[in-house]
Amino acid sequence: MKPHSIEFRQKIIEVHEKESISIRKLAERFCVAKSFIQKLIKQYKETGDISPQPQGGSPEPKLQGEQLIDLVELIEKNNDATLEELCNLLEEKVKVRVSRATMGRITQKLNYSVKKNSLRRRKRK
């Protein structure tokens, strides 16, 4: 959902300052949520700014730059390693622990395929 425009926010602040109207009535009048009005007024009182805050976004990746290069080297040296084994090797080399699922996503993005599960194969034999 797109944030409300600055002009709309300014109009709400102006009405709030000119009229002694409750937040609930103000929300009904402008057809917005009560929580939006509360947050807008609080932001305006604390900072004097009414521009929208940044929305969402994803967290920073655990592995960046040199660490990814180290991972590629590990995958190429140990091309028969499972995801779990790669996680352990990476932790030893870079001192960053990632889950098996994260390792799977990273290897997919890097277009590397890894062995599924060596334990089950060994048990079958």
Q: Give me the chain's average pLDDT, please.
A: 85
119/12 Cα distance (integer angstroms): 63
Backbone angles phi, psi at 113, to 5 degrees: -110, 140
pLDDT digits (tens, 9 = 90+) for 45-84: 999 999 988 888 887 878 888 888 888 888 888 878 888 8
Backbone angles phi, psi at 49, to 5 degrees: -110, 140
pLDDT of res. 70: 87
4/17 Cα distance (integer angstroms): 19
Number of neighbouring beta carbons within 10 Å of residue 42: 10
| Cβ–Cβ under 8 Å, residues 67 and 94 | yes
Model-wide pTM > 0.85: no
**CA-angle at 89, arms to 85 and 94, nearest 5°:** 145
Domain ranges of the chain: 6-47, 66-124
100/114 Cα distance (integer angstroms): 12
Which residues fall within 8 angstroms of residue 85, CB to CB, at 6 or more apart? 78
Output DSSP code: residue 20.
-
